[in-house]
C-alpha cells in the first residue's frame, strides 16, 4: 500500500478513528495489537509472503535481544554475532545473492575458468533494508548497554513494523521510538494539524515536483536517446530534484502520519541542496541512514581516532558500504566511493568562501555525483560519462527534450510552481517545516495550504511506478 493512493486514504481514515477510540481504554495493549495487525495488513498489501520474513526477523531479534541483555562476556558476544549474521544473511540473500553469483561468474570468465552459474528469481521484499537496520540497531544497542532489552513482545513487534516508517524510514532507534508504544496517547488537535501540514507538504513534493520532474529524467536517460554534455547535466539536475522530493516527501508524510497518532519520528532531511560543504550535505541528507552508518560502521572501525591513513580508510569504506546498501550494482558502490573520495579531498582542501559561492558549488558536485546512482548499469553510466565530450549548445535539442515531455502550458506552470518550491525550501533552511510555517499569519498559512492542495489536484502525477524510488532499496 502506498501513501499517494485512494486505498491508503481509506485505510488510514478507518485506522485513525479506531486507533483513537482504542486509546480511550485503560490499557495500551489493545491499541498496540490493532496497530500491529494494521501494520501487517499495510505491509502485506504488496505481497502477503513478505509477512513471514518480517515476523521471523522480529522474533529472532526479540529473543536474541533478551539473551544479550542477560548474558555476559563471550555468550553475550555470541548472541550479538548471531543477530548480525541472521539479519545480514537474510538481507544478503534477498538483495545480493544474484549479484554475487553474476560477479563470481564474470571474475572466473576473466580468468578463463569455465563455470555454469544459475541465478534465482528472487523477489526483493519491500523495505527489507530499512526494517532490518532498525531491528539490528536494537540488538547492537543492547550489547553496548545503551538500552535494555524489552520483554514485551507486542511492543517490540509493533516497533519493527510501525507502518508509517516501515518501508522507507526514517530508520528509527529503539532508544527513541520503542518506549513511545508504551505511552498513553491523548488526542491533540494541534499535533493533528502539524501532521496534516507535513503530509500536505510531502505529498506536494512527491506528486507535483518529483513525479513530474521524473518524466524529464526518464526521457533524458532513456538509453535510446542521444546525450550531450548539456542534456546529461540537465538530466542530472532533474534527477537530483526527483530523488530528493520523492524521498523527503515520503519522510514528511511518514513523520506527519506518526505525529497525528501521537508519535515523534526523527527528521530525515534538512534542505540538503543548500549545504555549504559535502560534509554538511551528509548532515542534511537521509539523516537516519547516515547516522546509522556513523554509529554502527564508522565509529566501530575506529572513526577519526585512528592514524590519518586508517581514518581516511574508515570514511571511504563507510561510504562504499552505504552505496552498496542502496542496491546490488557496482554503480551504487561507485556513487558511495565518489562521495567518500570527495569528502577526503574536502578535508584537505576545505572550502573557505562565502555561502553564495559554496552552496552552488556543492550543489553542482552532488548533482553530477547522482549520475552513477541513476545509471541503469555500468554501461549506461559510461554512456553518460562519454556524453560530456559532446559539447556545444543546441536550442533544437533542448526544446525537443522538454516539449516531448511537457506541453508548453504545463511546462510554464510547472516552472512557476518549482520556483515556489525552491523559495520555500530556502526559507525553511534547517528548520522543521512546522516550525517555519507555524509562526506565519493565519491568512498567509491558509493561502499557502490551498495553493499546495490545488497544485496537487491539478498538477499531481499519480501514475508513476515504482511509486517511491526508495521502495526498491
Q: Where are the alpha helices (DSSP H) in 23-72?
A: 29-44, 50-70
Closest CA to 42 of 11, 10, 21: 11
Average pLDDT score over residue span 379-391:
89
**Over 70: is that where the pLDDT of 286 sits?**
yes
Phi and psi (nearest 5°) for 271? 35, 65
State the pLDDT at residue 451. 94
Task: Identify whether the C-beta of residue 160 lies closer than 8 Å to the C-beta of residue 134.
Answer: yes
Q: What is the pLDDT of residues 365-378, one digit of tens each?
A: 999 999 999 999 88
Task: Using alpha carbons, list the distances in angstroms from residue 82 to 256, 332, 373.
Answer: 35, 28, 32
State the pLDDT at residue 469. 83
State the pLDDT at residue 304. 85
Q: What is the pLDDT of residues 18-57, one digit of tens each?
A: 999 999 998 999 999 999 999 999 999 988 889 999 999 9
State the pLDDT at residue 103. 62
Q: Where are the alpha helices (DSSP H) in 261-307?
A: 278-282, 287-293
**Over 80: is that where the pLDDT of 298 sits?**
yes
Q: What is the pTM of this model?
A: 0.93
Q: What is the pLDDT of residues 168-197, one digit of tens each?
A: 889 999 999 999 999 999 999 999 999 999
- Output 404-408 pairs: Cβ under 8 A, ≥24 positions apart: 404/219, 405/215, 405/216, 405/219, 406/212, 406/215, 406/216
State the pLDDT at residue 124. 79
Q: What is the pLDDT of residues 76-93, one digit of tens each?
A: 999 999 999 999 999 988
State the pLDDT at residue 396. 61
State the pLDDT at residue 102. 63
State the pLDDT at residue 98. 72
Q: What is the pLDDT of residues 112-129, one digit of tens each?
A: 676 666 666 677 788 899
Give the catalytic positions in this structure: 326
**Over 60: is that where the pLDDT of 107 sits?**
no
State the pLDDT at residue 145. 93
**Over 80: is that where the pLDDT of 237 sits?**
yes
Task: Identify whether the C-beta of residue 212 lies closer than 8 Å to the C-beta of residue 459.
Answer: yes
| CA–CA separation, 301 and 108 (whole Å) | 31
| CA–CA separation, 129 and 287 (whole Å) | 15
Average pLDDT score over residue span 243-252:
96
Task: Identify whether the C-beta of residue 275 lies closer than 8 Å to the C-beta of residue 281.
Answer: yes
| CA–CA separation, 324 and 380 (whole Å) | 18
Question: Could you tell me if residue 414 is left (phi over 0), alpha (psi between -120 and 50 degrees) or otherwise beta?
Answer: alpha
Percent of the chain with pLDDT over 90: 71
Q: Which residue has the higher pLDDT, 415 or 399?
A: 415
Closest CA to 222 of 32, 458, 49, 383: 383
Q: What is the pLDDT of residues 411-462, one digit of tens each?
A: 889 999 999 999 999 999 888 898 899 888 999 999 999 999 999 999 998 8
Q: Which residue has the higher pLDDT, 470 or 415?
A: 415
Task: Return mean pLDDT, the chain.
Answer: 90
The x, y and z cell numbers of residue 143, run together, are 550489547
Q: What is the pLDDT of residues 451-467, one digit of tens each?
A: 999 999 999 988 876 67
State the pLDDT at residue 390. 80
Amino acid at each position: 500500500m502506498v501513501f499517494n493512493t485512494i486505498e491508503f486514504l481509506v485505510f488510514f481514515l478507518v485506522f485513525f478513528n479506531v486507533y483513537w477510540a482504542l486509546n480511550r481504554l485503560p490499557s495500551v495493549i489493545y491499541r498496540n495489537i490493532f496497530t500491529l495487525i494494521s501494520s501487517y495488513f499495510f505491509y502485506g498489501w504488496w505481497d502477503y509472503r513478505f509477512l513471514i520474513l518480517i515476523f521471523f526477523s522480529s522474533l529472532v531479534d526479540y529473543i536474541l535481544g533478551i539473551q544479550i541483555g542477560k548474558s555476559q562476556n563471550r555468550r553475550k558476544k555470541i548472541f550479538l554475532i548471531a543477530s548480525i549474521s541472521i539479519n545480514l544473511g537474510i538481507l544478503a540473500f534477498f538483495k545480493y545473492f544474484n549479484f554475487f553469483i553474476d560477479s563470481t561468474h564474470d571474475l572466473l570468465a576473466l580468468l578463463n575458468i569455465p563455470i555454469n552459474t544459475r541465478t534465482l528469481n528472487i523477489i526483493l521484499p519491500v523495505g527489507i533494508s530499512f526494517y532490518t537496520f532498525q531491528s539490528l540497531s536494537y540488538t547492537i544497542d543492547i550489547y553496548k548497554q545503551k538500552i535494555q532489552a524489552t520483554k514485551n513482545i507486542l511492543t517490540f513487534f509493533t516497533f519493527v513494523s510501525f507502518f508509517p516508517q516501515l518501508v522507507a524510514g526514517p530508520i528509527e532507534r529503539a532508544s527513541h521510538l520503542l518506549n513511545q508504544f508504551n505511552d498513553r496517547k491523548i488526542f491533540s488537535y494541534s499535533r493533528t494539524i502539524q501532521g496534516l501540514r507535513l503530509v500536505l507538504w510531502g505529498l506536494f513534493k512527491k506528486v507535483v515536483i518529483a513525479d513530474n520532474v521524473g518524466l524529464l529524467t526518464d526521457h533524458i536517460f532513456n538509453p535510446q536517446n542521444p546525450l550531450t554534455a548539456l542534456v546529461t547535466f540537465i538530466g542530472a539536475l532533474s534527477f537530483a530534484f526527483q530523488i530528493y522530493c520523492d524521498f523527503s516527501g515520503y519522510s514528511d508524510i511518514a513523520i506527519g502520519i506518526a505525529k497525528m497518532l501521537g508519535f515523534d519520528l526523527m527528521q530525515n532531511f534538512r534542505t540538503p541542496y543548500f549545504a555549504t560543504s559535502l560534509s554538511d550535505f551528509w548532515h542534511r541528507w537521509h539523516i537516519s541512514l547516515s547516522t546509522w552508518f556513523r554509529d554502527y560502521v564508522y565509529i566501530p572501525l575506529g572513526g577519526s581516532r585512528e592514524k590519518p591513513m586508517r581514518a581516511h580508510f574508515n570514511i571511504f569504506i563507510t561510504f562504499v558500504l552505504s552505496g552498496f546498501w542502496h542496491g546490488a550494482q557496482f554503480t551504487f558502490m561507485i556513487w558511495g566511493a565518489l562521495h567518500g573520495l570527495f569528502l577526503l579531498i574536502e578535508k584537505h582542501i576545505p572550502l573557505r568562501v562565502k555561502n553564495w559561492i559554496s552552496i552552488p558549488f556543492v550543489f553542482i558536485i552532488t548533482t553530477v555525483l547522482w549520475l552513477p546512482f541513476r545509471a541503469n548499469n555500468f554501461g549506461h553510466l559510461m554512456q553518460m560519462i562519454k556524453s560530456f565530450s559532446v559539447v556545444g549548445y543546441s536550442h533544437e535539442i533542448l526544446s525537443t527534450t522538454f516539449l516531448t515531455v511537457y506541453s508548453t502550458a504545463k511546462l510554464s506552470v510547472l516552472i512557476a510552481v518549482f520556483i515556489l518550491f525552491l523559495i520555500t525550501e530556502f526559507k525553511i533552511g534547517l528548520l522543521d517545516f512546522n516550525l517555519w510555517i507555524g509562526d506565519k499569519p493565519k491568512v498567509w498559512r491558509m493561502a499557502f495550504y490551498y495553493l499546495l492542495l490545488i497544485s496537487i489536484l491539478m498538477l499531481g502525477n499519480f501514475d508513476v511506478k515504482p511509486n517511491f524510488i526508495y521502495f526498491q532499496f
